[in-house]
Amino acid sequence: MVSNMLNLHPRVLSLSEFFSFVGTGAMRRRRTTGEQMWVWYARQRRRTKLMLREDFEELAYPFGGPGARYGLDDVPPILCSALPHLTPAHDALFDELGPVVRARPRQAPALHFRDLFEWLCRRMERDVWVERSGASLLFGARLLRAFPDARVVHVYRDGRETAISMSRHYLFRMILATMHALRSRGIDAMSQMSQGRFWEWIALWLEPMATRCLDPAKLPYDKLTLADFGVFWSGMIERGHELLAGLPPDRLLNVAFEDLRATPEPHLRRLIRFLSPELEDDDWVREASRLPRPPRARTHFERLDAADRKALAQACLPGLERMGYSL
């Protein structure tokens, strides 16, 4: 919803789910060539293939549509969401982008990302770029190291609803099922969630292990409970608080999803002023305010039976208290 809102602004380049599909693995290298970076953007890895097993709304490439060049087995990561979000001529933009990226010199991966985003800004005639990936707190430390001067918008939602949503997302199920598998081998990853290094461990070791070393089809998905996802969400929120606590007010904006949906206009104005006061645009505010769907009469959490509601609420309690939600 936030990406779609920003995409309506005539001066904002809205990069939706760029890091979700491209990943942050390139940041492990000190320096890399443009040719190597293009491989990260253009070639599917096992992680992407597994994510594409399931249909979810973040996937924007029009598979099976008229003139679609790629299928699920070969769509480049940067075409899964980021480029189709910007233009219907996404395949042509992909072709145009290839020589630009490959021509870049050997340099730090973060500089490659900046070069790419700034080139897209010029190409799309936008002034600022905003990258938004779901659950980016998982790799938030890495992003802050790569973009130490970035302004951060933390869009959060009631953890009880978020945990239910996560339980339907393949990547989260795979991570939590891997943690269950490790427990049977004597490694209790769940108990490490309160420690900051755990979240770096997820990106550096746990997820690659789930996608390369274990058989994803044989993970114990049947052992997962909604409470597991609640604990995981709460841990992410606690880790996010640690990561972002040191940022000054002019570099951190917290936005509740529920507020943005219920009364979008004031929160959109707060968001755009945070990005830059020069970007404030009354026409954009009015148009973007029409995007949120009205809330359901009963939330997914309210539809659970009493026992599941109690277990999930308890699992989410630390994060709910941290973000000011009431039980």
Same domain, 167 and 125: no
Same domain, 172 and 120: no
What pLDDT, on a 0 to 100 scale, did the predictor assign at position 146? 92
Residue 188 has pLDDT above 70, yes or no: no
Q: How far is CA 154 from the centre of its chain?
A: 11
What pLDDT, on a 0 to 100 scale, did the predictor assign at position 320? 96
- Provide the residue range defining the domain that includes 164: 135-261+302-327
What pLDDT, on a 0 to 100 scale, did the predictor assign at position 239? 87
Same domain, 190 and 139: yes
Residue 131 has pLDDT above 90, yes or no: yes
Task: Please indicate, yes or no, if residue 139 is contained in any of the structural domains.
Answer: yes
Residue that is written with structure tokens 């490439």 in the block: 61
pTM over 0.85: yes
Same domain, 125 and 162: no
- Compute CA distances 241 → 113, 169, 234, 279, whole Å: 25, 24, 11, 28
Task: Please indicate, yes or no, if residue 7 is contained in any of the structural domains.
Answer: no
pLDDT tens string 13-58: 999 999 989 988 888 888 999 999 999 999 988 767 777 776 566 7
Q: Mapping DSSP to helix (H, G, I), strand (E, B) and coil, where does residue 273 land?
A: helix
What pLDDT, on a 0 to 100 scale, did the predictor assign at position 206? 59
Same domain, 169 and 317: yes
What pLDDT, on a 0 to 100 scale, did the predictor assign at position 199? 59
> In the chain, how many domains are there?
2
Same domain, 84 and 161: no
Task: Please indicate, yes or no, if residue 20 is contained in any of the structural domains.
Answer: yes
What pLDDT, on a 0 to 100 scale, did the predictor assign at position 194? 55
Task: Please indicate, yes or no, if residue 32 is contained in any of the structural domains.
Answer: yes
What pLDDT, on a 0 to 100 scale, did the predictor assign at position 66? 80
> Given 129, 161, 184, which residue is the final one in a domain?
129
Structure tokens at 179: 């943690």
